Structure 1
Amino acid sequence: MSRIAFDTNVLAYIAGVGRHPDDAAKIEAGRTLLRQLRSRASLIAPVQVLGELYVVLNRSGASRDEARETVLRMARAFGTADSNSSAFLSALDLSSAHQLQLWDALILNAAAEAGCALLLSEDMSSGFAWRGTVVINPFAASVDERLSRLIA
């Protein structure tokens, strides 16, 4: 079974967080994608993503307790991918070599370490591949063929 990791924005949409009028479509698309993938892939949430999600939820009006409960619910629903000092050092190298934001590099590294084939991300460069993990934008106008095969 394929392993698929989720970036923060994708989980935020699934949690119902929208900041712009067009985000309602992304919320629905994210939730639909989750339903489609749930039985077809092993879903992974890197711990960095869960931490960022907590901040996003809190800044979007959720109380700390509400944000905590949402993050814990997602952590239970998904597998998690940890980060450690070795992962951080790898992320530094990845960030430097490919001009990625450090925290994005840490998320991508965690996904790769967890054996994920795909990392679903709205804001990383779609198609970028590193250590066997390919970044895919699930909200792109045309669905990537690797994602299409999983949800078909």
Structure 2
Amino acid sequence: MRVAVDTNILLYAEGMNDPERQEQAEDLLEALPAGDVVVPAQVLGELYRALVAKARWSPTAAAAATRHWIEYFNVGVTGIDVLMSAFDITTAHQLHIFDAIVLACAAEERCRLLISEDMQDGFVHRGVTVVNPFAPQRHYLLEAALRPQA
């Protein structure tokens, strides 16, 4: 099952929040089959910006962290089709344009899940279900996406 990951999950894995949330994000990302994970290009840009602007990382360190995720996961490209779809999403559902780009990219990449703490848990668009991995009850689709633990 293809899964897209939103910016907040990568930020937590990079240590932006508390140690418990960092460990949860790291464990989640480790448990997902890397070949089935898509990180929209929009997410990578947001990650870099947040690491520099909010976490006060050097541009060099932020670029290195962002490159790590580029090498580890598949990158979803934001082309004109994704952008046009994002405009439709913002119009129909009042999502912020950058969240809509992430969701549209996930749909274009044929993802079944978008893992995000920031968007509405359970929201579905074009077959993509937004799932908050930190919700008290883990969504059944997220359970299905996680590779079996040995």
Query: Is the pair's TM-score, using the shorter chain for normalization, greater than 0.5?
Result: yes
CA distance in 2, matches of 1:24, 1:123: 19
1:61 pairs, out of 27, 52, 56, with 56
Correspondence list, 1:34-113, <5 A: 34-38=29-33, 42-59=36-53, 60-113=55-108
The one-letter amino acid of 2:27's match is T
Q: How many residues align?
A: 146
Partner of 1:28: 23
2:131 pairs, out of 136, 139, 145, with 136
CA distance in 2, matches of 1:93, 1:8: 21
CA shift for structure 1 position 85: 2.1
CA distance in 2, matches of 1:129, 1:76: 28
Q: Any runs of at least 4 consecutive aligned residues in structure 1 with deviations exceeding 4 A, and if so which?
A: none
What TM-score comes out, normalization by structure 1 length? Answer: 0.91
Partner of 1:15: 14
How much identity, in percent, do the aligned residues show?
A: 38
The one-letter amino acid of 1:149's match is A
What TM-score comes out, normalization by structure 2 length? Answer: 0.92
Which shifted more, 47-56 or 80-89?
80-89
Residues 2 and 36, structure 2, Cα contact 8 Å, conserved in 1: yes
Name the Cα RMSD after superposition: 1.2
The reply on whether 1:4 has 2:3 as its aligned counterpart is yes
Q: Where does the alignment leave 5 or more consecutive residues of structure 2 unmatched?
A: none
Partner of 2:118: 123
The one-letter amino acid of 1:118's match is L
